[in-house]
Amino acid sequence: MKKIFFLFGTRPEAIKMIPLIKACEQQPDKWQTYVCVTGQHRQMLAQVLDFFGVTPHEDLALMKPGQTLFDITADGLKRLDEVLEREQPDVLVVQGDTTSAFTGALAAYYKKIKIAHIEAGLRSGNKYSPFPEEMNRKMTGNLADFHFAPTVNAQENLYAENIREQVYVTGNTVIDALLMALDLIKDAPAYKEYFRFLDPAKKTILVTGHRRESFGQPFEEICMAIRDIAVKYAGQVQIVYPVHLNPQVQEPVQRLLSDVAGVHLIEPLDYPYLVWLMQQSYLVLTDSGGIQEEAPALGKPVLVMREVTERTEGIAAGTARLVGTSRKAIAENCMALLDDEALYQQMAQAVNPYGNGTSSVQIIDILYKVL
């Protein structure tokens, strides 16, 4: 039996790690599973863990008022020193590009514990965009022993950095989680009731936006584009924007969009409610990484409101389009999808490059063999 230590702190990490945890729990003769959370996003994290039925063994409780990247990194390392010394896992698993992923990999390296990096090899090519994620994933990649790349493109990124050993292309576990969630919410009336304000006769546009590199003028541009779309298609579309709690998101969104007819500004959604809304939507405007992968699996075109993206496979496949943060570009691309049925179907029917829902089982099987 091997002891596997899962470390994560944010909701997106949890969503992509839970299928791996479940895969290990289904093989109790092979795996002793240990789940450790950092406590950074406790409220948002708790609802995902509850929904999927996962109970952490350890909470590092790193969240404190006004914390910085310095605090998360330093405090995380100190706490992990104690926990890893006590637990002595065979492998520590981190996901993606968060500061907790990098800190976990660094702590495991200091303890000479094997490191598995899930969703390895994503690159934007700009170390400040996204910040600090681009460098988090690069540094984690240099520390990791096993690299699970979601696509061939991600694998080639690792090869270009001379990371060539123990690199595996497995698809993305976010698709596994999405399929699990769809099964859990199937036929549940609570979701329809929650969104009773929606008019089924109108096309729904889902918006998510929270990237720190867009704070300031780019966020104002995003808001004005949403305003333009709502005004032009009044009575035909409804725009739903679950607004991130960060004050630098809340302020421009509330100031520029709270009085616009057809725009529904709502609180951040629990993961299953977000999945349900995505399923009902006509198209998605986002700067989220996970949604760029999830929405195409549901046949929803995605417009990516960022200047660069590390998820270039979706752009190449035609499931997503990189439109930047300019008011004009966002509005024009969205209007094109609303007006041109052929263009819409071309994106909606493009093949999702991020896997078929078997990624977690592939990863766990590979890990057991190499360990």
Q: Catalytic residues, which ones?
A: 97, 119, 133, 210, 212, 244
Instruction: Report the relative pairing of strands 91-95 and 2-8 from DSSP bridges.
Output: parallel
What's the rounded Cα separation, in Å, for the pair 298 and 258?
29
Q: Give the chain's end-to-end CA distance (angstroms, integer).
A: 10
Q: Is the dihedral of CA 39, 107, 171, 24 positive or negative?
A: negative
**Residue closest to 6 by CA, chosen among 111, 132, 118:** 118
- Which residues lie below 8 Å from residue 307, measured CB to CB, with a gap of 6+? 129, 213, 324, 325
CA–CA gap between residue 136 and residue 97 (Å, rounded): 5
Neighbours of 35 (CB within 10 A): 22
- Token pair, residue 233, equals 């298609």
Beta bridge partners of 266: 242
CA distance 113 to 86: 13
Cα–Cα distances in angstroms (integers) from residue 283 to residues 85, 300, 312, in the given order: 48, 5, 19
